[in-house]
Chains A and B, each alone.
Chain A
Amino acid sequence: MRRRGMPGSARNSQQKVLLMGRCEAGKTSMRSIIFANYIARDTRRLGATIEVEQSNVRFLDNLVLNIWDCGGQDAFMETFFTTQADILFSHVQVLIFVFDVQSSDVQKDLEVFQSCIETGILKHSRDAKIYCLIHKMDLIPKAQRDELFQARKQELEHLSKPLQISCFATSIWDETLYNAWSTIMSLLIPNSLILKRNLKKFADHIDADEVLLFEKATFLVVAHHMRKQHSDPNRFEKISNIIKQFKLSCNKMQSNFTSIEIRNSSFAAYIELFTSNMYIMVVTSDPAVCSDAVKMNINTAKQFFKECV
């Protein structure tokens, strides 16, 4: 069966993702929560990563992530920038560098980051997208978080010149982790423009307030379309987090949900299994929109989306 798609889109796009940072920054915890169905509390049991742990993760239909989780102990890091630099840093599409916000040696963290950029990225993968995650923000009192984050961000942007970087404040205890990873992932999806365009058509057609598409295993938001303004700009990652937690607790009972309908007098939300690797969420606030009609429309759209992904 011939697949329809944009000319030139990679049939099976392989993306090499380098996950680096000093010892106990939280790299493996993050990876386990996003891709391996861990809950935050379970990450206590994780041990130190030895050298490099490689894993392949399929994301949607046509994206394979080749994740290199690099152990952060100083001994390993030294070899990474010398003897292993070639192997490690060539053909990297994404570098994710994780900083423990409460690190006892911030200067060393910055030095390591700088080595990474200079001896690694600049030499072998100049086009790699660079993301810096300022992690474990839950340990900082709320009032101080923004200031601390902005200060670190400025330092990192300075150190990485002339390359562009994006920074995120994250924690495994709230939705900020989902925000960072959703953003990173949605920029890697080969046909995200088509998805967004089709989602807009669908949302307009059924009079929805907003429509979201989630990847099935991770519940990261891969595309969304908003027709009505909403006061909370962080709601997408909150929803990812909320639904993922529910999914994990269903899994504990050896079950999984295929359909959720949530309603009160102000809104209705429908979360349905959409394609073999995506869930869709439709939110309406118009009481004239009938629940069975929405479900029928979602069903009809499934076939269409299956063919264009």
Chain B
Amino acid sequence: MDDDDVQIPGSYNQCSALANMQPHGDDPEIDTKPKIILMGMRRSGKSSIKNVVFHKMPANETMFLESTTKLQKDDVSKNCFMDYVVYDFPGQVDSMTDSAIDYTNMFEGRCALIYVIDVLEDKGPAVEKLVSILSTLDRENKLDNGLDRRTAEQSKHSANVSVFVFIHKVDGLPDDQREEEQKRIETSIRDELNHAADITLNFKTWLTSVYEYSIFHALSDVNEKLIDHLLPTFEDLLHRLKITCCMDTTLLMDVSAKCYIAKDNDFTDHNKYEMCCDMLDLYTDIANIYSHQPYDDDSYSCVILHQVTAPEVMLTKYLRNNLILVCLLQESCLKERGIINQNIRKFSKGIGKVLQVQSEKPCS
């Protein structure tokens, strides 16, 4: 870290980042909000996931949730930065031919299908159901084959459903069995897809539990896919902020859902992300006691941590639209607090411009 001590935080220039941003709005089809579609067997945990992540339900209360009997549509943008509609399917819906549900337009636009499998139950029927859903989607050419976003421009419109499989309730499984179980389920899905429906698909699996941070990680990953048109710009802005202020890490997080919206290019430490989630919880709980509205334009927090290595600082600054900036830096950098605050203000303006361009409708 010697270099960081020598470098002084410099002035932040977001202009070139914005110049590189992809124009949005060429596409008349994508005028509905991105969708997250939760499907799976009965009691697999779909509604728990939705409530814990998007409605701040404490994990231990999910035990008392009643079974979902009708398709639930939740627009979560009121409290979250993530501007999505979350579809929560009743578990007993057998396949996509159920006449009670209107499937037209459901899989249009940007979609993430999250299939939830209860790791503690028999996986056979769950896998069969998934394969049947994927066959239907494949016939309509909707499956996104997981190609890297920077090269998938052409397929953007016809193949728009990204598939994620959440291997859920892993808190009931000992640590040493989890990876094995994950591999087993992945293989079983691929085999079944190949064999029964002749599909090869790139899908992502996550080991999740509402009692752990894993569910927030997993949803952050889903979110990255859904906003992949914005992501390069966000990441670039974050990266520039990190470099000019000599920070270790910069993250954009959703204050309500605690998912990370974007991270700087070098971020790999998941433990740090979990600490950031805890930091947000701390802020929200204390701010709720001492004020009516926890997050406003002046919301700010700073935690100084002492650890085995040098003391580290976690800074958070509320930006707008339930979006919060989280920075991790060395305590020594705090000496230049004036410049850091100035740079964060510029960064915030940059994010504001990005979101403004994003929300402007195409001329009719």
Please report A residues at the B interface, Cβ cutoff 8 Å. 41, 173, 232, 235, 238-239, 242-243, 245-246, 249-250, 253-267, 269, 283, 285
User: Judging by beta carbons under 8 Å apart, are A249 and B275 in contact?
Assistant: yes
Q: Name 23 interchain pairs, CB-CB below 8 A, sorted by A.
A: A232-B289, A235-B289, A242-B281, A242-B285, A243-B282, A245-B281, A250-B305, A253-B271, A253-B307, A254-B308, A257-B305, A257-B306, A260-B303, A260-B304, A261-B302, A262-B283, A264-B287, A264-B296, A264-B299, A265-B296, A266-B296, A267-B291, A269-B286
Separation of A70 and B167 alpha carbons in the complex (Å): 42
Separation of A250 and B290 alpha carbons in the complex (Å)? 24
Enumerate chain B interface residues (CB-CB to A < 8 A).
Answer: 60, 211, 271, 274-275, 278-279, 281-283, 285-287, 289-308, 311-312, 318
Residue from A238, A253, A261, A265 with most neighbouring chain B CB atoms (10 Å): A253
* A260-B296 Cα distance, complex, nearest whole Å: 19
B294 engages A249 (CB within 8 Å): no
Chain A residues, CB < 8 A from B282 = 242-243, 245-246, 260, 262
Task: Determine how close the nearest CB of chain A comes to the CB of B298; give it in whole angstroms.
Answer: 4
Residue in B closest to A281 when the chains form the complex, CB atoms: B286
The prevalent SS among residues of B at the interface is mixed
Q: Which one of B274, B286, B308, B312 contacts A262 once the chains associate, using CB atoms below 8 Å?
A: B286
Closest A-B pairs by Cβ, 9 of them = A255-B307, A266-B291, A259-B304, A267-B290, A265-B298, A264-B299, A249-B278, A242-B285, A255-B305
Across-interface contacts of B311 in A (CB, < 8 A): 258
8 new A-B contacts at CB < 8 Å, known A239-B289, A257-B303, A258-B304: A41-B211, A249-B278, A253-B275, A257-B304, A258-B306, A260-B304, A261-B303, A267-B287
* Known contacts A254-B307, A260-B303, A285-B290; A238 and B295 CB within 8 A of each other: no
Q: How far is the CA of A256 from the CA of B305 in the complex (A)?
A: 5
B291 and chain A: residue at smallest CB distance: A266
In the bound complex, residues from chain B placing their C-beta under 8 Å from that of A258 are 304-306, 311
- Cβ–Cβ contact A263 & B306, under 8 A: no
**Contact across chains for A264 and B286 when beta carbons are under 8 A apart:** no
Are B306 and A262 neighbours in the complex by a CB distance under 8 Å? no
Q: For the complex, what is the distance from the CA of A238 to the CA of B287, rounded to whole Å?
A: 12
- Which residue of the partner chain B has the closest CB to A285? B290
A249 adjacent to B274 (CB under 8 Å): yes
Bound-state Cα–Cα, A285 to B278, Å: 24
Residues of A within 8 A of B283 (CB): 262
**Do B305 and A264 touch (CB < 8 A)?**
no
Smallest CB separation, A145 vs chain B (Å)? 16
- A264-B292 in contact given A255-B305, A257-B305, A258-B306 (Cβ < 8 Å): no
Of all chain B residues, which has the CB nearest A284? Answer: B290
Q: Which residues of A sit under 8 angstroms from B303, Cβ to Cβ? A: 257, 259-261
Which among A232, A262, A269 has the greatest number of chain B C-beta atoms within 10 A? Answer: A262
Chain B positions within 8 Å of A243 at CB level: 282
Inter-chain CA distance A267–B299, complex, in Å, is 10
Residue among B292, B307, B318 with max Cβ neighbours from chain A (10 Å): B307
CB of A126, distance to nearest CB on chain B (Å): 41
**What residue in chain B is nearest A260 (Cβ atoms)?**
B303
CB neighbours of A255 from chain B (8 A): 305-308, 312
A243-B282, A253-B307, A257-B306 in contact; A265/B275 too (CB < 8 A)? no
Chain B nearest Cβ from A64, distance in angstroms: 27
Closest to B274 in A: A249
Residues on B with C-beta less than 8 A from A265 are: 291, 296-299
Cα of A196 to Cα of B299 in the assembled complex, Å = 31
With A and B bound together, what is the CA distance between A168 and B242 in angstroms? 50
